[in-house]
Amino acid sequence: MIQISTPTICKPAVILPKYSVTQKEIIEFIKVNFSDTEELPKAIEMISNNQVLKRHFIRPLEEIIFDCGLEKRNSLYIKYARQLAKEAALQAIKNSGLALSEINMVIATSCTGISMPSLTTMLINDLELSATTRQLPISQLGCSAGTAAVNLAVDYCNAHPGNNVLIVNVELCSLLFHPEDTLLSSLISASLFGDAATASVVRGEGGKGFAITATHSFLLSNSEDYIYYKIKDAGFYFRLNKKVMSSIKLVIPEINDFLKKTTQKEPNEMDFYVFHTGGKRILDELVKGLFLQEEDILNSRNSLSENGNLSSAAVFDVLNRLFENEPPLPGQKGLMVAFGPGFSTEISTGFWV
């Protein structure tokens, strides 16, 4: 029997910065500014085939190309992260049908800058939430943090029946661009990630959306070098090991086992899917490994194409598309998955209400 009190992810808010750049513009930019790079032809070929057509940034491209150092980068991060987080949070709370006074916990995910006090503190002050609001800032789970936040929010709601959790995700990936970084993997990453803020409320009771009944975390052993930051005087340098491309097949058995234990279903027997937009190859591997149809991941493909990889914010952009395009029927079962540094996998399953 379906429990009314099942913690439920309500309709997300998705806030995109005003500066939009097409992939064609990025390719021309790389041709002009990285003409002496040995692997330029290979980079152009790979970028042209990564399925990203457009992304949004907090600054125009002509400003992004100048290296401004860690201090300037982080001051920009705090300025824009705070603005976008507040806007996303207000819309998400409105979507949930709750009042500000009914938020009991704030989780904020962001890996593209540093702030102390944390973004959760800023949100509590800016939204004038209760001084007793619980806080959980998450900064080092990368792309998997969005689903990790859902799982932790569900745990909190189950432990505190009737409570509600605001999740806010802010990723300003353009602040990680370094013009002197000409590694092939760096050029590929620079063509993949976009800026955005998303937010959603997990209601302990009475929500409409994706009700979560089971969660799971999995860390692939000895994979710390798959995704990481190299920190230099100029800021964070994103590093992506090509081993990531073959890592999905290693975690597929974990997804299969989790679903069998919690739903008695195979992955391809679920009714809807919310997958992190890790990139074309990642989505290809999920379709192949889970025996899915292309239409099953259309929302993830479209999110990647229109906004790029939004890191921890990505799963909420995908979930929002599910709400807006063709919401599942009540009772239909779904699967949410995201991957991140570690190499870590965060999984949620449940049903639509």
301 shares a domain with 155: no
Domain count, the chain: 2
- Residue 267, domain member (yes or no): yes
Q: What is the CA radius of gyration of the chain?
A: 19
Per-residue confidence at 4, pLDDT binned at 50, 70, 90? low
Domain region containing 128: 8-203
Same domain? 218 vs 137:
no
Could you give the CA distance from residue 167 to residue 136 in angstroms, rounded to a whole number? 9
SS3 letters for 142-187? Answer: HHHHHHHHHHHHHHHHHHCCCCEEEEEEEEEHHHHCCCCCCCHHHH
Q: Are residues 286 and 173 in the same domain?
A: no
pTM: 0.94
Q: Tell me the pLDDT tens digit for each residue of 259-290.
A: 999 999 999 999 999 999 988 999 999 999 99
Same domain, 177 and 40: yes
Residues 169 and 267 in one domain: no
Is the pLDDT at 63 greater than 50? The verdict is: yes
Contacts of 325 (CB under 8 A, 6+ apart): 299
The reply to whether 3 falls in a domain is: no
Binned at pLDDT 50, 70 and 90, residue 330 comes out as very high
Q: CATH number, domain at 170?
A: 3.40.47.10
- pLDDT confidence bin for 2, thresholds 50/70/90: very low
**Which of 172, 203, 234 finishes a domain?**
203
Neighbours of 195 (CB within 10 A): 28
Do 192 and 266 belong to one domain? no
Give the pLDDT score at 3: 46
* H runs (alpha helix) in the chain: 23-33, 40-48, 61-64, 69-96, 119-127, 145-159, 184-190, 248-263, 280-290, 298-307, 314-325
**What is the rounded CA–CA span in Å between residue 247 and residue 241?**
10
Annotated catalytic residues are 143
Residues 189, 246: one domain?
no
The answer, yes or no, to whether residue 339 has pLDDT greater than 90, is: yes
Residue 50 shares a structural domain with residue 197: yes
266 lies in the same domain as 157 = no
Is residue 236 in some structural domain? no
- 33-52 as b/e: b if 16+ CB within 10 A: ebeebebbeebbebbeebbb
Residues 205-211 have a mean pLDDT of: 95
Q: In the prediction, which pLDDT does 29 show?
A: 84
Q: Are residues 81 and 184 in the same domain?
A: yes
For the stretch 77-120, pLDDT in tens is: 999 999 999 999 999 999 999 999 999 999 999 999 999 999 99
Percent of all residues in the chain with a pLDDT value above 70, rounded to a whole number: 99
Instruction: Let me know if residue 105 belongs to a domain.
Output: yes
pLDDT single digits (tens) 152-198: 999 999 999 999 999 999 999 999 988 888 788 788 888 889 999 99
